[in-house]
Chain A
Amino acid sequence: MRVIQWFYLAVAFAFIYLPVASLVLFSLKDGNLPLPPFEGPTLRWYQDVLGDHQLMAALGNSLLVAVVSSFTACTLGFLAAYGLARHVLPGSAFMRGLLIAPMTVSYLIVGLGLLIVFNQLGIGLSLWAAGTGHVVINLPLCFAIIYASMGAQQQNAEHAARDLGANEARVITLVTIPMLAPAILAAFFLAMTLSWDEFVIAFLLTRFDVTLPVEIWSLLRSGLSSKTNAIGSLVFLGSVTVVLLLEIFLFGRRRA
Chain B
Amino acid sequence: MTASISITTLHHQFGDFQALKDINLSIDAGEYTVLLGPSGCGKTTLLSVLGGFLVPTQGNVMIGDNDMTRVQPAKRPTTTMFQDYALFPHMTLQDNVAFGLRMRGMAKSERHAKADQFLELVGLRQDGTKRPHELSGGQRQRVALARALAVNPDVLLLDEPLGALDLKLRRSMQDELKDIQREVGTTFVHVTHDQEEAMAIADRIVVMNAGRIEDQGAPDRVYRRPSSLFAANFMGEMNQLPAWCEQHGVKTALGYLPGHDTANSTTQWTACIRPEQLTFEPHEWSLGSATIIDSAFFGSHYRCHLRSDEAPELTLVAYLPPSAAPKPGTKLPIYANPADISLFATEESKEAIEP
Interface residues of A (CB under 8 A from B): 153, 156-157, 159-167, 170, 174-175, 178-179, 181
Contacts and interface: CB of A to CB of B under 8 A. Distances in A.
Given A164-B74, A165-B151, A178-B90, 13 more contacts: A159-B80, A159-B86, A160-B88, A162-B72, A162-B73, A163-B51, A163-B79, A164-B103, A164-B151, A165-B104, A170-B103, A174-B88, A179-B89
Given A163-B73, A163-B79, A164-B79, A157 B100 contact: no
B74 A167 contact: yes
Contacts of A167: 74
B90 A163 contact: no
Contacts of A164: 74, 79, 99-100, 103, 147-148, 151
B285 interface: no
Interface string B140-161: 0000000110010000000000
Contact of A160 (B75, B78, B80): B80
The SS class assigned to the A binding surface is helix
Contact of B90 (A156, A161, A170, A179): A179
B104 A153 contact: no
A90 to B, nearest CB: 16
Contacts of A174: 88, 99
Closest 10 CB pairs of A and B: A164-B100, A165-B103, A156-B86, A160-B86, A178-B90, A163-B73, A165-B74, A157-B86, A166-B103, A163-B80
Interface of B: 51-53, 72-75, 78-80, 82, 84, 86-90, 99-100, 103-104, 147-148, 151
B183 to A, nearest CB: 21
A153 B140 CA distance: 14
B89 A162 contact: no
Contacts of A178: 88, 90
Interface centre among B53, B87, B103, B151 (most CB of A within 10 A): B103
Nearest to B52: A163
Nearest to B72: A162
